[in-house]
């Protein structure tokens, strides 16, 4: 839970607000107290939507849907006023982690718990469908594991069974990797759509990963409409049940009654709550951090549209990645080229009929996501606008950036050379580029590779640059000559982050294979494999003295490793979601980590959480301290860069990117901040000097 912010109301209806819980699809969610002192959750529609009759109607439908289902399988509606200004709804506070949070923190559920969960969820869906509703956003983040069983929440896009899947604007709304084929394609959606999602949720609970999640919209849709994954982790009967839920023909999927006949706890037992989750359920009480909710859940959040292409740039291969997204209602004929984000080999395996189906589904999904992002993502208010030098409270006003726009795809990483004269960038266009900082001119392009370039960093002496790639390789480049010096290829999946030790003798790399690897730079050999994370590792950073290495992972943890002993020293837990970035303060006393809109500060010596800053919406994708340690910069999904005054917690919001900001870096003298975004651009923000 986060404190109330300037501008938040003190009361909504009869309820006294005590803290912020998070963001729903259309509004802010608060923890509140009833006049009698009972904890309740109050959802308030955002002012910008309160005047829109469509959003008011949607909110009223959410209230009505939750009331119709009742409190046994969901959170009981206590009171609501859809006609208020702004509209609001109060529900009972249900202590417990979300299924997403529980699995990310404690791992997949064992067979007995999985069966009990499945029976409870099938019973909940039966209640929803029995009221003539389709949930349409059934996913792990919308399932609360309460002490008395699972509860299904968030009826923001639930609709009657005879309603279309699409809004009036043509937007397909939901969570892409948990959608059914008919929901993606814009076909009529009935109870069988929730059954498809039910199978996907069970697969996630059993394996710890979303079975259809991928790096792009095209790959996600291809998995959903293609051959289902094998699910070797499941016992045969549950595997058959999940595969039955995943039938492409909705009429062939089981009903909730058929699911309950196969899952009834009369046969499986009723062991609930699970012993390994009891402490999570007990700790999720008012005054503690509740399970997080975010509107989109994918292995990596999907891009809502292709980045804009500068006028002088030629189109990418086939032209498809540089075309603007289709307008609502536009029909896009099947292409002979792979869809955006798809490997050519995957596309070539499809028949012409499958390509046509997939093309139509992706068109609907892209249109829906582009049209509905304005509903799902919104910026926080009360942004600080300070006055006056090289700290947040002394900056006259947010500066105007210099924009570097030669990349033709997402820019994943930026890094300054030790002397500050050169900036390196890595992009999904497969290139690493070097820029002259003084002039902004492109100095060199290293492009001998067709896959994504995900990370880049200079060695402490500036002679080498290390970059990580989609094919699991780390490459060392000679900065002066531009020649590739070495290819380090022990990782089996994407390399998300690379970092040199302060003396330049060791290189660390983080990968989607769940490992962190240490490399001897001089010998160009692997030195150690650090294993402990249970999911993708997104970021690594050395402490200033080189004795510690920090790593951040989708398993929700930050881990500290002893570099000399090559052993895990500490696990920092407290994040409610995937952790995307880590950075040490210049004196090594603090560690910053970023997750779902929150940057957390940790005391390195004790491992205790020192502070948490809620700022942008969506993931905090990057974080870095200024050279003097007075500022911390962070980049967010909402396209903003935020500068935090470490001592005062005040912030400046830098707005210029039109898409997610994946990387931020301070120049060595602190006078510039570089940011890299999914809009294909790099921004150089002048901060001034004291």
Distance of CA 504 to the CA centre of its chain: 32
Judged by DSSP in three states, 282 sits in helix
- Find, among 681, 594, 602, 584, the residue nearest to 642 by Cα: 594
577 and 289 Cβ atoms separated by less than 8 Å: no
Compute CA 33 distance to the chain's CA centroid, rounded to the nearest angstrom.
Answer: 31
Cβ pair 550, 541 in contact under 8 A:
yes
3-state secondary structure of 124: helix
DSSP code string of 397-421: SPPPPEEE---SS-EEEEEE-TTSS
Q: Is 637 left (phi over 0), alpha (psi -120 to 50) or beta?
A: alpha
Q: Which residues contact 232 (CB under 8 A, 6 or more apart)?
A: none
Annotated binding residues for ATP: 43
Distance from chain centroid for Cα 10: 31
At 39, list the tokens: 């904890």
Q: Angle at Cα 652 formed by Cα 648 and Cα 653, nearest 5°? A: 140
Of 110, 137, 409, 471, which residue is the catalytic one? 137
Alpha-carbon distance of 390 to 671, in angstroms, equals 8
Which residues, 6 or more positions from 248, have their beta carbon under 8 angstroms from its beta carbon?
181, 225
472 in Cβ contact with 453 (< 8 Å): no
Phi, psi of 468 (to 5 degrees): -110, 145
**Would you list which residues are annotated within the binding site?**
43
Give yes or no for a contact between 95 and 147, defined as CB atoms under 8 angstroms apart.
yes
Quote the tokens at residue 315. Answer: 């189109």
Helix 111-130 and helix 191-207, axial crossing angle in degrees, nearest 10? 160
- How far is it between the farthest Cα atoms of the chain? 73
Long-range contacts of 32-38 (CB under 8 A, 24+ apart): 32/90, 34/78, 34/90
85 is annotated as an active-site residue: no
Q: Tell me if the bond preceding 277 is cis, omega within 30° of 0.
A: no
Paired tokens of 413: 């990483």
Cis amide prior to 617 (ω within 30 degrees): no
Q: 286 forms bridges with which residues in the sheet?
A: 288
Burial grade of 195 (CB within 10 A; 0-12, 13-18, 19 or more): buried
Catalytic residues: 137
């Amino acid at each position: 839970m986060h404190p109330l912010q300037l501008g938040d109301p003190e009361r909504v209806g009869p309820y006294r607000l005590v803290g912020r819980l998070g963001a729903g699809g259309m509004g802010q969610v608060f923890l509140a107290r009833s006049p009698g002192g009972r904890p309740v959750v109050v959802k308030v529609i955002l002012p910008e939507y309160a005047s829109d009759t469509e959003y008011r109607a949607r909110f009223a439908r959410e209230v009505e849907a939750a009331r119709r289902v009742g409190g046994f399988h969901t959170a009981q509606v206590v009171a609501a006023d859809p006609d208020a200004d702004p509209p609001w709804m109060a529900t009972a506070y249900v202590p417990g982690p979300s299924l997403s949070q529980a699995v990310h923190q404690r791992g997949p559920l064992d067979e007995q718990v999985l069966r009990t969960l499945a029976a409870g969820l099938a019973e909940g869906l039966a209640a929803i469908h029995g009221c003539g509703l389709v949930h349409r956003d059934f996913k792990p983040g919308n399932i609360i594991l309460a002490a008395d069983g699972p509860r299904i929440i968030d009826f923001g896009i639930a609709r009657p069974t005879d309603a279309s899947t699409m809004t009036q604007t043509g937007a397909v709304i939901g969570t892409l990797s948990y959608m059914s084929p008919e929901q993606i394609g814009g076909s009529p959606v009935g109870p069988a759509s929730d059954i498809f999602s039910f199978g996907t949720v069970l697969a996630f609970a059993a394996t710890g990963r979303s079975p259809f999640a991928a790096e792009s919209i095209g790959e996600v849709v291809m998995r959903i409409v293609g051959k289902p994954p094998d699910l070797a982790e499941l016992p045969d009967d549950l595997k058959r049940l999940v595969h039955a839920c995943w039938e492409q023909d909705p009429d062939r999927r089981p009903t909730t009654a058929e699911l309950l006949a196969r899952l009834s706890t009369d046969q499986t037992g009723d062991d609930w709550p699970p012993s390994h989750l009891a402490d999570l359920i007990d700790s999720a009480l008012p005054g503690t951090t509740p399970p997080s909710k975010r509107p989109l859940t994918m292995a990596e959040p999907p891009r809502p549209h292709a980045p804009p292409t500068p006028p002088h740039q030629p189109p990418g291969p086939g032209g498809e990645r540089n075309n603007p997204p289709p307008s609502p209602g536009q029909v896009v004929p099947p292409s002979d080229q792979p869809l955006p984000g798809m490997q050519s080999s995957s596309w070539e395996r499809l028949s012409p009929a499958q390509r046509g189906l997939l093309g139509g589904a992706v068109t609907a999904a892209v249109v829906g996501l582009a049209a509905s992002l304005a509903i799902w993502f919104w910026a926080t208010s009360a942004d600080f606008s300070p006055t006056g030098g090289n700290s947040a409270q002394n900056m006259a006003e947010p500066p105007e950036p210099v924009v570097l726009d030669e990349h033709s795809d997402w820019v994943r990483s930026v890094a300054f050379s030790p002397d500050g004269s050169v900036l390196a960038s890595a992009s999904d266009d497969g290139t690493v580029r070097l820029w002259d900082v003084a002039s902004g001119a492109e100095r060199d392009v290293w492009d001998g590779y067709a896959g994504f370039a995900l990370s880049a960093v200079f060695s402490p002496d500036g002679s080498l640059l290390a970059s990580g790639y989609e094919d699991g390789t780390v490459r060392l480049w000679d900065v002066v000559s531009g020649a590739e010096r070495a290819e380090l290829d022990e990782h089996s999946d994407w390399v998300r982050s690379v970092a040199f030790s302060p003396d330049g003798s060791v290189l660390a790399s983080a990968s989607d294979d769940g490992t962190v690897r240490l490399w001897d730079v001089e010998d160009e050999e692997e030195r150690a494999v650090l294993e402990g994370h249970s999911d993708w590792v997104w970021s690594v950073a050395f402490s200033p003295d080189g004795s510690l290495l920090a790593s951040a992972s989708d398993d929700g943890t930050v881990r500290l490793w002893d570099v000399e002993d090559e052993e895990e020293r500490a696990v920092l837990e407290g994040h409610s979601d995937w952790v995307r970035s880590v950075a040490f303060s210049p004196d090594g006393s603090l560690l910053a980590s970023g997750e779902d809109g929150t940057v957390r500060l940790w005391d390195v010596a004790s491992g205790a959480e020192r502070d948490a800053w809620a700022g942008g919406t969506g993931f905090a994708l990057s974080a870095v301290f200024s050279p003097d340690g007075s500022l911390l910069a962070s980049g967010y999904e909402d396209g903003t860069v935020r500068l935090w005054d470490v001592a005062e917690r005040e912030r400046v919001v830098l707005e210029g990117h039109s898409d997610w900001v994946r990387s931020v870096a301070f120049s060595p003298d602190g006078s510039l901040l570089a940011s890299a975004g999914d809009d294909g651009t790099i921004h150089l923000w002048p901060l001034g000097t004291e």
